[in-house]
Amino acid sequence: MRLPAVGRLFLREETLKSGFLGLLAAARRLEDRIADRARQAGLSAPAALVLIAIWAEPGIDRKGLERWLARTRPTLAPLVAELTAAGLIEKRRPPSDRRRRGFHVTPAGAVEAERCFAAVSHLLRQAFREEGEEAVAGFLALLRRLAP
């Protein structure tokens, strides 16, 4: 995908469209790589994304997963069940708040999450290195604005 050069006219419709399509293409590329690794582990691609989210945010609750992954409760429930049955995640109550329950990866889940994430971490690291600290900071700030 060829993105237009960005200069003083960075708010032009063409740039916005290219940015949008670029985000979609990048997300698809990353998800495809994770899906390949997930298949090797006997997981569905959506389950692998849930596993990585729980690994990245220990103690995340159902609502947090819904926000991060843009999935509904009925969509998440079978994925959580799949991961729980495989012994990759568990729900725990923190000692500080007995009402709240959060998801955590098990030791086996941590291994699988690391393997799945390794399928994309080198791509991210290489791109971040090539673009530099300032560009990465801007990119992450943009994602924080766009993500729920």
**Distance (Å, rounded) from C-alpha 67 to C-alpha 65?**
5
Summarised one tens digit per residue, pLDDT across range 97-147 is 777 789 999 999 999 999 999 999 999 999 999 999 999 999 999 988 988
Residues 27-54 have a mean pLDDT of 94
Strand partners, 105: 89
DSSP for 35-47, written as a single string: HHHHHHTT--HHH
Please give the pLDDT value at position 11. Answer: 78
| pLDDT > 70: percent of the chain | 93
Please give the pLDDT value at position 33. Answer: 94
**Distance (Å, rounded) from C-alpha 90 to C-alpha 96?**
18
pTM given for the model: 0.83
CATH code assigned to 13-146:
1.10.10.10
Residue 5 has pLDDT above 60, yes or no: no
Query: Which sequence spans correspond to the domains of the chain?
Result: 13-146
Please give the pLDDT value at position 1. Answer: 54
Q: Which two tokens stand for residue 103?
A: 């998801």
